[in-house]
Amino acid sequence: MQPPLVYQVDLTTIQGEGDFPCPGCGAIISPEDETEDVYRILDTKVTGDELKELVIQCNMCKSKIRLGGFNSP
C-alpha cells in the first residue's frame, strides 16, 4: 500500500466561498462541512494568535492537504 500523497493548497488562489476539490480525487472540500464525512483535520499551525497552516486528510482518497494563506489581506 502506498503512503498518502501530500498536496499544498494556497487559499488565496481559491475562487468563491472557500470550497475546493481535493487535488487527489476531486471530492469537494468545504469549510462549512463540520461532519468529517469528507475530510478531517490532522494538524493546525498557529503563530501567536494567527492560524498559519491547517493540515487535513481527504477521507475519500486519504491524501493529505496542507492549507495555507489564512491571514492574507
Instruction: With respect to residue 27, please indicate whether it lies within any of the assigned structural domains.
Output: yes
Q: Beta partners for 28?
A: 21
Q: Between vectors from CA 52 to CA 65 and to CA 47, what angle results, nearest 5°?
A: 140
9-19 pLDDT per residue, tens: 999 898 888 89
Task: Give the range of the structural domain holding residue 12, as residue numbers without chain letter.
Answer: 6-68
pLDDT digits (tens, 9 = 90+) for 17-54: 889 999 999 999 998 988 999 999 999 999 999 999 99
In a domain, 73, yes or no: no
From 32, 39, 31, select the one nearest 64 (Cα to Cα). Answer: 39
Q: Tell how strand 6-10 and strand 64-68 pair up.
A: parallel
pTM: 0.87
Query: What is the pLDDT, as a whole number, of residue 73?
Result: 57
Instruction: Identify which of 36, 22, 26, 30 has the alpha carbon closest to the alpha carbon of residue 65.
Output: 22
Task: Give the chain's domain count.
Answer: 1
Q: Is residue 1 part of a domain?
A: no
Ranges assigned E (strand) in the chain: 6-10, 20-21, 28-29, 39-47, 50-58, 64-68
Q: Is 45 inside any structural domain?
A: yes
In a domain, 15, yes or no: yes
